[in-house]
Amino acid sequence: MSSLPEPNSTGLLHSKGWQVAMIGLGTATAQLDSSVNIAFPAITRGFDLAIPDIQWVVICYVLTYASLLLAMGRIGDTVGHAIVYRIGLIWSAVAFLLVGCAPSYGAMLFFRCLQGAGAALVLSCGVALVTSLYGEAQRGRALGIYTMMMALGLMLGPLLGGALTAVWGWPAVFWFRIPIAIAALLLLRGLPSPPPRQTGDRFDAWSGIALIVGLVTMLLALNRMREFSAIWLGLLSIVAFAAFGFRQSRAEHPIIATKVLTSPGFALLNLISVTASLAAFSVWLLVPYYLTRIPGHTLAESGAILAAGAAGAVLASPIGGRLIERLVPAEWLVVAGAATIGAGLLLLSAWTEQTSTALQVAGLIVQGVGLGLFQLAYTDIVTSALPIEDRGVAGSLTLLTRMFGTVTAASLILMLFEILQVQHGFFEAFHLTFQLAALLAFISAGLLAFLPRRISP
């Protein structure tokens, strides 16, 4: 009689598809933070805040996780991505509970920083875990699935946030993610074991501190671009990055090798990721204001229309992954993605008060398809360019450049729009801003066309 198959090889909890789904579920705990935006009015009322004060709910979270991403990615490369990922899920679950129970606004902001640290632990190792399950031959497919799951969380956030806040109040947008994090933690089985640590392969704490200070001050400087304090924050950021570079050039096991950062093709690719993300994020900044000026849309309908962009990315990502695996080089797909972002933004720039909902959704889907293709191809190029043992750093770097783009957009795009609105009124300013954003995306696509066939830092 033949022996039964080993559960580890055939059981559902150990199947590749199940593991990827659970990684995606855990990653969703961070992406679903888009649900918080819809709860801003309730939070403002709950703590009796002035409207401008609500920005710190975003700033504390974003600054924390963005500044920690590269450091956490390097720690994952050193001690094991699965370990860091699981710690991140536990940390996040506790942080969600604390934020929802915050007795004061100050306490809430502190707990949001803790939540940001949990997000950094989870997001820094997601790419590494998914690609390790599929292997290098199927890296495009793995990244397509992972990018789709990231976009799905971003899409569902506003839809769930409105319903949860209406029934249970603003704490619900944090508490509903606790069972998601716990489920992902308990159901993850059979993830790759951490590689054996090499002698001297340790995390350089001083480099990590300098990097975190540099990123925090840079992001604050971008956020405060219209204020004098941005100058001092920028100078402090330069000093911190100089210290980081000095330390890295002498470290036996740097967080990210200096030659990687100074490679012209690799540096240009990451700079273009910032500009493309800047252009794409204009949708989340300006479209909500447009929808509030169009009669006939309820809050739920406006949220569904806005989610169409993320839905486009959900549709495009797995298709793009298969294209990379079978037919289309990632270097071509990243150009197509940036150009499609531009096309979608150009469609948005033509919106008027009479534009139908169908055309609004179509424009957002086109832009979302472009963003999904761009992010997928960009991530594939970065992960293939860096050594496989630095996969945590590679995944973290792709997220960090996107974050720089969104933070810069929050300052530059809004400043540009406000200037144009004073001169031309809302709708003309809306048209001109999206035309300029589309132009930026098309320029990014043109520059990407000159990248080498294979980027080797």
The pLDDT tens digits for 255-300 are: 666 666 666 677 788 888 888 888 988 887 788 778 878 777 666 6
SS3 of residue 447 by DSSP: helix
- Let me know if residue 194 belongs to a domain: no
Torsion over CA: 37, 271, 260, 191 (sign): positive
Q: Check residue 195 and give its pLDDT.
A: 55
Looking at the fold, whether 183 and 84 belong to one and the same domain comes out as yes
- Let me know if residue 7 belongs to a domain: no
Looking at the fold, whether 245 and 366 belong to one and the same domain comes out as no
User: CB count, 10 Å around CB of 450?
Assistant: 9
Q: What is the average pLDDT across 131-142?
A: 76
- Let me know if residue 1 belongs to a domain: no
- Let me know if residue 122 belongs to a domain: yes
Looking at the fold, whether 424 and 342 belong to one and the same domain comes out as yes
Please provide the DSSP assignment of 350-409 as one string: T--TT--HHHHHHHHHHHHHHHHHHHHHHHHHHHHHS-GGGHHHHHHHHHHHHHHHHHHH
Q: 329-376 pLDDT, tens per residue?
A: 888 889 999 999 999 999 999 998 888 889 999 999 999 999 989 988
Angle at CA of residue 199, ends 195 and 200, nearest 5°: 110
What's the total number of domains in the chain?
3
SS3 of residue 5 by DSSP: coil
Looking at the fold, whether 279 and 238 belong to one and the same domain comes out as no
- Let me know if residue 305 belongs to a domain: yes
Looking at the fold, whether 279 and 293 belong to one and the same domain comes out as yes
Given pLDDT bands bounded at 50, 70 and 90, which one contains residue 86? very high
Instruction: Compute the distance between CA of residue 63 and CA of residue 249 in angstroms, rounded to an integer.
Output: 26
Asked if residue 8 has pLDDT above 60, the reply is no
Looking at the fold, whether 247 and 318 belong to one and the same domain comes out as no
Looking at the fold, whether 290 and 215 belong to one and the same domain comes out as no
Instruction: Compute the distance between CA of residue 29 and CA of residue 290 in angstroms, rounded to an integer.
Output: 29
Looking at the fold, whether 392 and 426 belong to one and the same domain comes out as yes
Looking at the fold, whether 171 and 306 belong to one and the same domain comes out as no
- Per the structure, the complete domain to which residue 211 belongs is given by 206-255
Q: Check residue 203 and give its pLDDT.
A: 63
Residues 184, 177, 25, 117, Cα dihedral to 10°: -90
Looking at the fold, whether 312 and 416 belong to one and the same domain comes out as yes
The per-residue pLDDT of the chain, averaged, comes to 81
Looking at the fold, whether 164 and 261 belong to one and the same domain comes out as no
Q: What is the average pLDDT across 233-252?
A: 80
Which of 238, 255, 272 is a domain's end point? 255
Task: Say which amino acid occupies 395.
Answer: G
Looking at the fold, whether 269 and 243 belong to one and the same domain comes out as no
Residue 11 CA: distances (Å) to CA of 14, 16, 18, 218: 5, 10, 10, 47
